[in-house]
Structure formats: C-alpha cells, structure tokens
Structure 1
Amino acid sequence: MPDGFDMFDACATATTLTLFWDKPERADRGTVYTLFVDGVPAARVARTFATIEGLAPDRRYHVELRACFPEGASAIRLAGGSFRTEAVKRDIDVSRPPYNAVGDGVTMNTRAIQQALDDCDASSRVVIPAGVFLTGALTMHSESELHVKAGGTLQGSVDPSDYEPRVWSRFEGVERECYASLVNVGVLDHTAGCTTHDVRLSGEGTIRGGGARLMRATIDRERVRMGGELDDMADYIAACENEDTVPARVRGRLISICNAERVELAGLVFEDGSSWNIHCVYSRHIVTHGATIRSSGVWNGDGWDPDSSEDCVLFDTTFDTGDDMVAIKSGKNPEGNRINRPTRRVRIFSCSALGGHGIAIGSEISGGVEDVRIWDVDLARSRYGIHIKATAKRGGYVRDVSVRDSTVAAVTIHSVSYNDDGESGPGQPYFERFRFERLHALGRYWGETADDVYPSTAVLVKGFDKPGHEARDIVFKDVTLGGVDGGCGRVELCDCAGVVFDRVDAAANPVADPSRPFKAAVS
C-alpha cells in the first residue's frame, strides 16, 4: 500500500457496502478513485468513501480500489479486500404486539422498547417507526441493532429519574457515577478490554435527548443531593469553570459506548443530549457516517467524543453543536495518567460545520492521543477550527496529527488555563509532530450568530514553558492565511521549536471592520 495508507474497510447492510479508506499521502483534491466489485467498475468518486447499492444479501464480494492521481496517466491499485453483505434481518417493530409502544410523544415507552432490545439478536433489528416515542435510558447488548425509520424519533425524557439507576461512567476525563445515557452500549471498566460487540444504530430518523431542560433538571437535582457538600468545596469550586461545573458532571450523554468494539452509527440525526452527544470510552472500531449531529442551548454540547479509544472513524457528517463538534480525549490528570489508555488511529474526513467550536484534541489528554488524520473537512463556520489544547498540569501527549485539504477558521495549538481543577499529573504534556498541508485558515472567530464575526489569530502555536515540552516539529505547507471578509493572516508563536512554514501565504483581507475587536487567542 502507499505510504500513509492503512485503512480500507466497509460497513455492510443486506444490499449495500459503504467503503471508506485513508487518503494516500500523494493524493490531493484532484484525485479520483474507482471501486471495482468482482472485477466490474461500480463507483467513481473524488472523495474517500462510496456506497455500492443493489447487492445481494449474505454474499461475499471482492472489492478493489484504484486511484488516478492528477500527475499520473493511469490508475494505480491502492487496496483490495473481501466484504460480505448481511443476511436480511427480521424487523421488531416496537409499536406492534407484544410491545405496543405508542408514538404520541407523551406515553412513556421505556419498558416496551427495552424489552424489544432485549429480544433482539443478530438476525433481527428493533425498529422505531414514524412517530415520537418517549423513553428513558435504554441498553443495547452485543449483536443488536436499533433502526429509526424516516419520520420516527426516539425522544429522551426530560426527567432525570428516568435515567436511574446511575451507572459508572467517565466525564471530563474522570471516572465517576453518572446518570445513564439515553442509549447505553457496554459497561465501563478500564481494566478490561471490549466486552460488548457488533452493535448498530441506523436509519433516517432522529435520536433526540432531553436537551437543555434535562441538563438543567439534572444539575438542580444533583445540587440538592450534594447539599452542604458544595459549600464545603467552595475553594475547589472557585478553581472550576463556574458554580455548575461539579453538579453538572453527573449528566448522562445521548449515546454512551463503553468497552465496546465494532459499533456503527449510520444515517441518523443525533441531537440534544444533556451534555455530549456521542461518547465512546475504552472502545475500538467505532464508525460514524452519513449522520447529522447537533445541539442547542446545551453547555458542553459536544458532538462526537472518542475517549481512550482506538480505530475511530467519522465521515460524511454535518455538525451544528453548542460546543466542540469533535473532542478527542484520553483522561484527566492524575487518574488519566495512571489508567494510561491513549486514543489513537482516529480518522475524520468529509465532514462540515454549520456551527460549533470545531475539532478539538484535549484538553483531557493525560492518557495520550496519537495518529489522528483529518482531511477534506469544512470548518469555515466553526468558532475555532482545529484546536489542540491541554493544561500544564495534565501530563500525557498529543503527537502525529495531520490535517490536509481543508478550510478551517484557524489552527490553534496551545497550553490553556481552563479546565484546570484537580490534582496535578506527573509533568507537562508533549505536543509534537503535526503537519498541516493545503489548508485555508481564515483567521476569523465566529460568535453566536452569522453576523457575529471577528478577526482572530489564523495560526497560534504556544507550547509549554518547561524545557523539552515546547510544541515541536510542526509543518505548515501550502497554507493560505486570511484573505476573506473579517479574516486575518496573523501568526503567533511561543514556546515552540522546529516550526516550518513552507509556501505559506498571508493573503490580504478584503474588508477590515474597525468596529470588530481583534481576538488574539481563544478560550
């Protein structure tokens, strides 16, 4: 295989194969790929994924991938593999006997839907038909599928009691007891490997959480439960983000994936978790594609958060979130240093932002983050763009990150002072070996509305002040800075070493609005 090319995989249904692959090192936006199925051309695309339709169920197909590079005269074989479609599954419709769930948006259906999920096996799938099916926390087991049809909504309750009993979870890098999530896959255990496998959430419908109402109700309920304990923690709380930080840490997610492998999230709208929307911990081979992920009015409303997990793939997905669209994590000091489970081999491509903060790595990186590849993303409408961050007390590392062929609000690599509560880890983090190629960094900061745009630093690299912990070995190649309305070509460097700028153009900005203050850094 070509250098930097080690992923060629597929997600299968009874009649389709969705193929996806790494972008080769020599490829750019002009590269065209052809897929051959059993020797016959089946798709020709200018992106690194394709869906082959009209296949026969329960049949093995050989697929070959070839690429035609702009400078080449003929196609080059990149990879080949054998993939089997699924057998046709039996539908378990939750609205039919013996389950009799009611999609009126009022009737609580937790028991009915949970029973259907318990009855599901590898040869069947649970179906949410058209309607709004109100429910509390649900649990999925190995070899099960939850399918939400077009016009159907799995609607989470806004009552925290519907997410009890609490479960062992991880939030902002620390393991703790939390309310259950709306959909729960697996049981958290950092001493174990993957204990749940082969789970799918699919369809054209919506999985919606309790959103801001559930968030607020959960925080208020936890504040009452903790009572005077919060008063005794006054000094600690003063170091936190705000007075809600501690009671908010018990919130569940929309989708929680723990100690699981081979989990697919395909085609759905995921929205309005009471905190993060999709969170996978101590898991591997998690694939999300063809989805829409959004949140409104939710503090910590992240979209897709791989946490101490491996082989996580995200593509063909649109985000509009109240916080990071993606946040890659691996634990918080010193617990994260001790558990020492990194997040690695993350692939993000063909995604776009309608809002939200962008793609973040950190700030919880105490277990380490490595081998992250991002390409063909449009983060022009994100607040921060690419955002790599950690506090000086965190320990851990971020290394081997590449971003290519993309438009971003900015590129920011820096030490931060927020999310800095708790005991220190063993030392300062390491930021090293990053490559940014064929990017347009706009140098503008998006606020809460389309008109709320400010010039900001296009590239900020600020490492750590301890010798040997500078941000190092960072390459910017074929990068354009600014050159857009409200944009800026400014570069800031501090505590860094081995930063290379190769064909970087700070373009003139067509409009300079003196009424807009310059935002020199992000928070």
Structure 2
Amino acid sequence: MELLWKSHMMKVIKLVYVLLLVTLMNSKVSESKKEKIISTSFEYNGINCRANSVSLKDFGGVGDGKTSNTKAFQSAISHLSKYDSEEGSQLYVPAGKWLTGSFSLISHFTLYLHKDAVLLASQDVKEWPVIKPLPSYGRGRDAAAGRYTSLIFGTNLTDVIVTGDNGTIDGQGSKWWQQFHQKKLKYTRPYLIELMFSDNIQISNLTLLNSPSWNIHPVYSSNIIIKGITIIAPIRSPNTDGINPDSCTNTKIEDCYIVSGDDCVAVKSGWDEYGIKFGWPTKQLVIRRLTCISPYSATIALGSEMSGGIQDVRAEDITAVHTESGIRIKTAVGRGGYVKDIYVKRMTMHTMKWAFWITGNYGSHADKNYDHNALPEIKNINYRDMVAEDVAMAANLEGISNDPFTQICISNVTISMAAKAKKQPWTCNDIEGITSGVTPKPCGLLPDQGTEKIKDCDFPSDYLPIDMLELKKCSYSI
C-alpha cells in the first residue's frame, strides 16, 4: 500500500511540475507577444490615418547599413499601391540602418520611420535615376542636363505623409559635395525629399542629415505642412538649403531647427525666362518658430529664383544665431516676377553680418537668353518687433536703377552693433519706404514717421487656409 501511495504521489508531483512548466512557458510567450506589440506600436498626428500597414521587413528589408533596400522599398510600395484610395496605406520602417537609393511614393500613403530607424542614401550612382530638369528652371542647377531623382520622390500625388518618431534620413552627401567642388557632376545633385505637382502633403518629426543638396523641396504643390523637422549639414557644405517651397500655395513651416551650408528656408518660383513662362508663384506661406544657424547664408531667403512671383509670406517667432543675414531678398535684372506682401515679426538675431539684406544685383542666370527688360517688382515688405545683437551691418538695401523697391516698412527694431561693425550701419540705394522706432537710425530713404503716424508695418490678422486644417491622431500596431 505504501509503495502504491508513493507511486501515486510521484505521478501527482510530475503532473504539477508539467502544469507549472506549461504555465511559465505560456506566460513567457504572452509576455513576448505583449513586448512585441508594444515595441511596434506607434502613433502620430497626420492629415489622414491609414487602413492598411506593413513593415519594410515583410518585403525583404535588411537593416544592417550595408545591404541595399531600394528594391525592398519599391516592392513594398508597389504592393501597397492596390490600396491607392482614400482608405490608404502605410509603410513602417523599423529600427535599423536601411541603405537605399531613390524610391517613389504613392497617393494616400504614409512613410513612417521608427525613432531608431536611419535611412542611408546609397553611394551607388546607379541607384539614382536621372530625370528631366524642372520646367520652371529650364536646366539643372549644377549642370545643364537633367537631375538625379531625389531620395524620397513623388509626382502627381494626393494625400502624402512622410513622418516618424524623429527617425533619421542621412543623405551621406560628402561624395556629392566633392564632385560639385571638383566640377565633375554631369547632372544636378539629388535632394532628400521632393514632391512635385502634389496636393495635401505632410513632412514631420524627422531628422535630416548631410543632404547632397537641398533637403526638402515641395514644388508645384499645394496644402503643405512641414513641422518638427531637424536639419543638420556642415556649415560649408554647398547648397544644403533646409526647406525650399518652390511654386507652392498654402504652405506652413513650423517648429523646425536648421543648421546648414545655405539658406535655412529659401522661397522660390522659377528661374529667369523659364520661370516667367511657367508663371507659377509661391503664395500663402506661413513660417513659425524657426531656429537657424547658417554662417554663410540667410535665415529666410526670398529668391533668387523668383521669376514666377512670391506673395503673402508671413514669418513670426524666428531665431537666427551665427547666420549671415536675417531676411534676404535676392533678385536681378532678367528675373521678372515679383516679391510682395512680405510680413515678418518677432525675430531675434545673434551674431549676424546683416540683419536685413535686399539685393537687385544677384546675377546667377540660367543662361544668356534671359530678357534684359524683365525687371522684378519688389514692394510691401514689412519687418517689425525685432531685436538683434552683435551685428556687423544693420542693413544693405540695394534696388535696381529705374526699378526702385518700394513700400519697405521697418518698425520697432533694435540692432546692437558689433565691436568691429561697419562705420555706416545702413546702405540704401533705389528703395523707398518708412521706419518707426528703429535703432541705429536708418538711411535717409527710410525716414522716421513717428510712432503715431506709421502704420506699424501691419502683420495680417486673418488665418491662411492651411492654419484651419486639423490633424488626426493615428495609432497602429504591427
């Protein structure tokens, strides 16, 4: 009897042990699944949420920083194109280093980068297709022939989002910069992100590094939000402009930090006779809470390619540090077009060469066929409520003979000059305007009107349509 009892107890103990082991294993599996869900859950604010989402890994993506993922991106986006409707689709890029050449987006689509995801631009020129020059430019900027397709590219699209949890896109541009300096480029360098002839665009919450040339270039597009972007390139890297809205309507640039070798924001609309013929202006542009470091260029530049026109630009709460100029308007005989209805307020500048710079003698023409009678119209330029310190020269305002730049208004601006500042803080030629409460005293062409008479360089009180767009909260688990 005792032996039977012992045998029975051993069976019970083994059964309990097996049950405990199974319970522990199931618990670990559940925890593992739970951890997996948590690690691949994400949310963001977007112009639209998507009904279908896949991971780059599902299409053979390898995030080792060495394997090319160009085909993986192309395959994933091709697969998702079947959801090219308002329900939309999304491609998730997980943590890793994803080497890739150029790839094109689709409509009703989101590209989302994990916080530890890095897109590395391929160094293999074969992974960069060549396309025609932009019609409003007539030629490539670096070379007369075509241009390399941007890393992330799209044309004739609707409802496109490129975003992430501050994921990174690294253009690995040093090779391109060397070829540019050595004049070895056959085609114009690629940009990091370019969307053409598109509507409803969002580019947000990303870090962009070392672009071969311009970083973000929406062109011939409308209804654009660019928000929460960090852009960094060496301060001597050539033409690494931050954000270049080009022949675009209804655009908002907010909460961006830019260190670059060229203009932090460059507003454009075509080059000489090509831009005049194309005739597509940039208008209704809002720039807010921008921080810029660019020792050899401008915080905000208007032009020099402005032949299609630039109108209704509103910039506020802008900070510039160790930057060549605060606001710069660049144009020339032959540009045609216009820059008008420009409003800037609450700008802070530290260690600048110029606070304000307007030049009608920029040069740099597309070719020798430009119209020498095509004179630009520059008028209604308004600057107010600004403070600058350690400035070499307050302003260099240079219009065009027989084509003066008019209605320049500067109000409530205090500029503290550097220890080795120019003896003459203001230089003015061929301009007309007024000032109020400006230190140091402006040039004679900008007479002080007194605080009671001046219109105070009015800043529009209405909102542009892009400000009325409310983003949706999107959340996913993959």
- CA distance 1:103–1:15, shift in 2 (3 Å): closer
* Distance apart, 1:154 and its partner CA: 1.0
Question: Counterpart in 1 of 2:150?
Answer: 181
Amino acid at match of 1:145: T
How many angstroms apart in 2 are the aligned matches of 1:243 and 1:392?
30
Whether the 8 Å CA contact 2:70–2:101 is kept in 1: the answer is yes
How many angstroms apart in 2 are the aligned matches of 1:199 and 1:16?
14
How many angstroms apart in 1 are the aligned matches of 2:233 and 2:137?
21
Instruction: Provide the secondary structure at the position in 2 that maps to 1:276.
Output: coil
Once the two structures are superposed, what CA deviation does each residue of 1:195-252 show, in whole Å capped at 9, x if it has no partner?
A: 31100000120112131213435x5xxxxxxxxxxxxxxxxxxxxxx883x9475212
How many angstroms apart in 1 are the aligned matches of 2:439 and 2:178?
46
How many angstroms apart in 2 are the aligned matches of 1:486 and 1:380?
18
TM-score normalised by structure 1 residue count: 0.68
Question: Counterpart in 2 of 1:458?
Answer: 394
The structure 2 residue matched to 1:138, chosen from 99, 103, 109, is: 103
The structure 1 residue matched to 2:356, chosen from 404, 407, 411, is: 411
Whether the 8 Å CA contact 1:390–1:429 is kept in 2: the answer is yes
The alignment covers a number of residue pairs equal to 379
Pairs within 5 Å for 1:231-242: none
How many angstroms apart in 2 are the aligned matches of 1:370 and 1:400?
6
Question: Counterpart in 2 of 1:199?
Answer: 160
* Distance apart, 1:173 and its partner CA: 3.2
Question: Counterpart in 1 of 2:430?
Answer: 495
Instruction: Provide the secondary structure at the position in 1 that maps to 2:178.
Output: helix
Once the two structures are superposed, what CA deviation does each residue of 1:440-498 show, in whole Å capped at 9, x if it has no partner?
A: 24463xxxxxxxxxx2x2122111112xx20110111001122566666811111112x
2:413 is the alignment partner of 1:479: yes
Question: Counterpart in 2 of 1:250?
Answer: 188
* Distance apart, 1:128 and its partner CA: 1.2
How many angstroms apart in 2 are the aligned matches of 1:373 and 1:385?
14
How many angstroms apart in 1 are the aligned matches of 2:186 and 2:345?
36
TM-score normalised by structure 2 residue count: 0.74
The structure 1 residue matched to 2:314, chosen from 373, 388, 395, is: 373
Question: Counterpart in 1 of 2:114?
Answer: 149
Question: Counterpart in 2 of 1:271?
Answer: 209
Question: Counterpart in 2 of 1:222?
Answer: none
How many angstroms apart in 2 are the aligned matches of 1:111 and 1:482?
55
Q: Which has the larger radius of gyration?
A: 2
User: Cα RMSD between the aligned structures?
Assistant: 2.4
- CA distance 1:16–1:480, shift in 2 (3 Å): same
Gaps of 5+ in 2: 1-41, 141-145, 442-478
How many angstroms apart in 2 are the aligned matches of 1:418 and 1:91?
49
Instruction: Provide the secondary structure at the position in 1 that maps to 2:272.
Output: coil
- CA distance 1:261–1:421, shift in 2 (3 Å): closer
Whether the 8 Å CA contact 2:139–2:366 is kept in 1: the answer is no
Question: Counterpart in 2 of 1:430?
Answer: 377
- CA distance 1:337–1:477, shift in 2 (3 Å): same
Instruction: Provide the secondary structure at the position in 2 that maps to 1:366.
Output: coil
* Distance apart, 1:311 and its partner CA: 1.0
2:240 is the alignment partner of 1:301: yes
- CA distance 1:154–1:299, shift in 2 (3 Å): same
How many angstroms apart in 2 are the aligned matches of 1:89 and 1:317?
29
How many angstroms apart in 1 are the aligned matches of 2:229 and 2:343?
23
- CA distance 1:421–1:119, shift in 2 (3 Å): closer
Gaps of 5+ in 1: 1-13, 19-84, 187-194, 220-241, 445-454, 508-523
Q: Which has the higher helix share?
A: 2
* Distance apart, 1:171 and its partner CA: 9.1
Amino acid at match of 1:365: M
How many angstroms apart in 2 are the aligned matches of 1:394 and 1:492?
23
2:178 is the alignment partner of 1:209: no
Pairs within 5 Å for 1:58-207: 86-87=48-49, 89-95=51-57, 97=58, 99-120=59-80, 121=83, 122-164=87-129, 166-170=130-134, 173-176=137-140, 177-186=146-155, 195-203=156-164, 204-207=166-169
Question: Counterpart in 2 of 1:364?
Answer: 305
2:280 is the alignment partner of 1:341: yes
Instruction: Provide the secondary structure at the position in 2 that maps to 1:146.
Output: strand
Whether the 8 Å CA contact 1:481–1:490 is kept in 2: the answer is no
- CA distance 1:287–1:320, shift in 2 (3 Å): same
Once the two structures are superposed, what CA deviation does each residue of 1:26-78 show, in whole Å capped at 9, x if it has no partner?
A: xxxxxxxxxxxxxxxxxxxxxxxxxxxxxxxxxxxxxxxxxxxxxxxxxxxxx
Whether the 8 Å CA contact 2:135–2:274 is kept in 1: the answer is no
- CA distance 1:104–1:197, shift in 2 (3 Å): same
Once the two structures are superposed, what CA deviation does each residue of 1:309-355 show, in whole Å capped at 9, x if it has no partner?
A: 11111000000011111111111111111111111111101110133
Instruction: Provide the secondary structure at the position in 2 that maps to 1:394.
Output: coil
How many angstroms apart in 2 are the aligned matches of 1:163 and 1:478?
49
How many angstroms apart in 1 are the aligned matches of 2:225 and 2:175?
29
How many angstroms apart in 1 are the aligned matches of 2:193 and 2:103?
10
* Distance apart, 1:372 and its partner CA: 0.6
Pairs within 5 Å for 1:508-523: none
Amino acid at match of 2:399: G
Pairs within 5 Å for 1:325-340: 325-340=264-279
The structure 2 residue matched to 1:262, chosen from 185, 197, 200, is: 200
How many angstroms apart in 2 are the aligned matches of 1:383 and 1:210?
25
2:359 is the alignment partner of 1:420: no
Instruction: Provide the secondary structure at the position in 1 that maps to 2:245.
Output: strand
Instruction: Provide the secondary structure at the position in 2 that maps to 1:352.
Output: strand
Question: Counterpart in 2 of 1:31?
Answer: none
Amino acid at match of 1:105: G
* Distance apart, 1:380 and its partner CA: 3.1
Amino acid at match of 1:163: W
- CA distance 1:327–1:139, shift in 2 (3 Å): same
Question: Counterpart in 1 of 2:249?
Answer: 310
* Distance apart, 1:123 and its partner CA: 3.9
How many angstroms apart in 2 are the aligned matches of 1:17 and 1:179?
32
How many angstroms apart in 1 are the aligned matches of 2:262 and 2:314?
21
- Structure with greater contact order relative to length (CA < 8 Å, sep ≥ 6): 2
Query: Percent identity between the aligned chains?
Result: 27
How many angstroms apart in 1 are the aligned matches of 2:186 and 2:389?
34
